[in-house]
Structure 1
């Protein structure tokens, strides 16, 4: 990069955006640090990149830096921060951010849409509804956000009711997807079928949403038939098969999962990252039925064949509800993580809470435990419910 470019904020901001989209967070941070006169666009590019790369907690540190530098936040940056809150799903942090947003910005349509999504993700559906009701000129995006919010909170009937209240001319692809997802999350099979059949033009994403719904309810024959019909006039869709595979995992159906996974490898040989996720699902299915050695061997051989590395899933929490200099303290951790200096105390507290919930009647379904149980305890392996019984329940 020439010296002229290194002193050009437009170029540097674009470089940050590009590197973040290529998942090169470290290089993007280096460029950000090299900018002598950072502007609101520089900060926004970095924060947006953190959200893209699943590092939302870093946005709060940038917010404090901006405040210290006297940078006035605009609608775009506030929208990014609301998106950050949506990813973290912690009500206290959400409220902390909202309390700082000027009222005239909170009343902007795009901000209201983001707030509905944020509160819905946090489980504060009443807050989302209050914002929805406060919007005078409700348009398609506002409706879609609220329908999606109902779906995220298992309120399928409310989502359908709002969908029916919408003027038909406002329905678009996103609307159909949101209401089908809401039916899916609430187990409303008949309603999903009716809505799907009413849709005049079924796009790829709409068919994918219906595939997800059928797979979640273990109606695999119907889901596969839908995919086959779609593929008579369209190219195969990777996500449809991932939904099928996820449903097979939830149903602990190893034979179906093997069939789906092998078909995915045949149809999508270049989808290395996605196939890695599929490998983990199949491996977990083997573990869920007690085939731990097979799970280990399958996972090892497939990951080696794909030439991929498994990215650990991370969760985060704030430290004891404390705010240090109005900046939240976050701890990221992965499964079986002992890197924190207080790991012993953390695990002891988890064990204490586990004992408490067991006393209150909690029973663990060990089919979701993917490691072999080493000692007897309160966790008992449950026998898999036959698929026919599940289907019979759904039709009652």
Structure 2
């Protein structure tokens, strides 16, 4: 069995943990209470490749110059969106085509629409769901396209993502051995080449994708270089280090990386949010040293998420942000002291200076029932209800806010009644 996981796997699982936290808490709560927040999409500049591609078949022919000539050609005919997307789906879903044939057909369509950025990105993103056995052909196409004029930055990033998606994962072997699987050295070499490009969009995306695929120590070195020459910014640098941190076995190096993160110049709350994500990555609590956990706990404690000054500002993302911070803080404290997480969360939301929205955030999370049980056992139901009164009685309160408070109030009251003799 594989003793540890690759940087890519940690990144993907970390992203999934974050998505579950935001969607499972904020969005589910929003749906329950009748409101949602717009604009919850991945940044196209930093979004990772799609999930593990589908099965693939034998390789196709060698590429020719005509494969990439259209990338440098003049304007192409606009595509009819509905017919176009159906055609892509038909190719992807065909059982009569090998993966290499699907790749060839999609690339041929791309040649005709390379000057239409939205369509080109859609095609390139679609190609991530297949993995031809002839990786060299894909790599040559991507490199030629980058060199010969995919002018739109989004298309360049999509090309890098397609390149990264060719990396083959095998959970049955060690991460170091994964880099030597057939075709993977070609992918990593091409990403290293792209990371040294003079084109910012190309180098930027290649550095990030290499970080999520390559050997950890080499990735850290490249991140340092990219940060120093301006290819990536401080926030990206800190985030990538955070995803590598649980893979570092040496406690001294863990602390060194945490020091770099603290010295990055990021605002305290942004640093705390990134470290909260790190703390909730798979195996983070078991792989990080006690000293590292204490450092992360201190940063989180010194930088709690802030709610809007206006008590009536009930932002779904703010609730999710608080819940992520509180979950990470309590998980670390649990790892260090063994105190139950529901007890720790109940203490956090009932601190004298805690915003009533902190209670609302946790009460709308998957930890709702255990935390309410603790509040009941501690005899704090009335105190909790008084905090909700502060929010509910604020002038100009909305029906939505009142509905949320009423729901939490009912849960607390019912639980308290069941506990009464």
Q: Which has the higher contact order (CA 8 A, sep 6+)?
A: 2
Given the two structures, how large is their TM-score scaled by the length of structure 2? 0.41
Give the structure with the higher percent strand. 1
Given the two structures, how large is their TM-score scaled by the length of structure 1? 0.44
